[in-house]
Amino acid sequence: MNLTTVEYAKQGAIAYVTLNRPEKLNAMNGAMHQELGEVWADFRDDDTLRVAILSGNGRCFSAGADLSSGAPTEKFTYPAEFPDITQSHRVFKPIIAALHSHVVGYGMWIALDADIRIAADDVSFWLPEPQWGIATIPAGWFPKIMPWAIASELLLLAERIDAQRAYQVGLVNKVVPQDELIVEAEKAARRICELSPVAVQGMKESMVRASSLDYSAIDQITDYVQTRVMNSEDRKEGGRAFADRRQVDWPGR
C-alpha cells in the first residue's frame, strides 16, 4: 500500500493505525478515507494480526472532516460510503482507540468505530456541525452507546465535553495521563492477544450484527456465531489446556 495520510505498522499480533495529517490536525479527506478502508481490509485479512490500536499523529486525534476549502454553500450530497469504514469492511477483530486532545466532528465517528476507547486526560469531544447547518453523520449511533439525554447534549447543544464527562457517560472506557495513553492501549491489546481469537472475534461479530436487529434475529445471529465458535479448534484447545492445567496455545481457527 502506498499510504500518505495514514501510518500502518505491524508489531507481532498488534496493528498500529495512525491518522497522519498532522499539518491539518488529522482532518478526514477523501484520501484518508480511502486509505483507512485499505488498511482495515488488510488488518481484517492478515491472520497474524489480532488487534489494532488507532491513534492520531501530532497535536490532536482528529479535527473532523477537512473543510479547508470551506463549507459547501450550494447543494451538497455526502457520498453514501463515507461514514462507516470498519463495518462496511466487516472488521470483526477488536480495535482500540487511543484518543488525545481534540476529537471533533467526523473524528468522533472514526473514534466510534473502535470497540474500546482510552482517552488522555486532555481530550475533549465536540460536534460543532449544527453551528454550520450540518447534520452530524453518526447521530443515529449515539443513542446506541449512551443514554438518549447524553446523546442529545452532544448532538443538539454543540458544546464540548471533557475527558471525565466522556468517561461518566460511557463514551470512553478509561482516562489516563497523556504520557500513558499508548501504554494503556498496548496493555489492553496484549490482554486481547492472550484470549482466543476465534472467541473474541465471534463476540464482536455478534455485537455488530445484532446492534440493529430485533430479539428473534439476535437469537439467530447468536446461534450462528456460537455454533462456529463452539466447534472451533480454539474451543477444543481451551478445554484441553484447562484439563491439563497448562497455558493455552490458541490455533486461531
> Mind listing the pLDDT tens digit for each residue in 82-103?
445 555 568 999 999 999 999 9
Strand partners, 124: 102, 162
Q: What secondary structure does DSSP assign to the chain, as a single string?
A: ---SSEEEEEETTEEEEEE--GGGTT-B-HHHHHHHHHHHHHHHH-TT--EEEEEE-TT-SB--B--TT----S-----TTSS-HHHHTT--S-EEEEE-SEEETHHHHHHHTSSEEEEETT-EEE--GGGGT---GGGGGHHHHS-HHHHHHHHHH---EEHHHHHHTTS-SEEE-GGGHHHHHHHHHHHHHHS-HHHHHHHHHHHHHHTTS-HHHHHHHHHHHHHHHHTSHHHHHHHHHHHHT--------
pLDDT at 172: 95
Along the 253 residues of the chain, how does pLDDT read in single tens digits?
A: 899 999 999 999 999 999 999 999 999 888 898 899 999 999 999 999 999 999 999 999 999 888 765 555 454 444 444 445 555 568 999 999 999 999 998 898 889 889 999 999 999 999 887 776 766 555 667 777 778 888 888 888 888 999 999 999 889 999 999 999 999 999 999 999 999 999 999 989 888 887 766 556 656 666 666 677 677 887 777 778 767 788 888 887 8
Largest separation between any pair of C-alpha atoms in the chain: 68
Give Cβ neighbours of residue 84 (< 8 Å, ≥ 6 apart).
113
Q: What pTM was estimated for this model as a whole?
A: 0.83
Predicted confidence at residue 81, as pLDDT, reads 43
Find the angle CA(214)-CA(204)-CA(50) to the nearest 5 degrees.
165
- Please list the residue range(s) of the chain that carry CATH number 1.10.12: 196-244
Fold classified for 6-193: 2-enoyl-CoA Hydratase; Chain A, domain 1 (3.90.226)
Nearest one of 251, 225, 228 to 238, comparing CA atoms: 251
* Other beta carbons less than 10 A from residue 157's beta carbon: 11
Domain with CATH 3.90.226.10 in the chain: 6-193
- β-bridge mates for residue 14, sequence order: 11, 51
| pLDDT tens string 112-144 | 889 999 999 999 999 887 776 766 555 667 777
CATH architecture of 196-244: Orthogonal Bundle (1.10)
**Per-residue pLDDT, 79:** 46
Q: What are phi and psi of 42, to 5 degrees?
A: -65, -45
Sheet holding 161-162, edge to edge: 102-104, 124-126, 161-162
Q: Output the pLDDT for position 82.
A: 46
Residue 89 near residue 37, CB atoms below 8 Å: yes
Set of cell numbers at residue 194: 492472550
Residue 101 is predicted with a pLDDT of 96
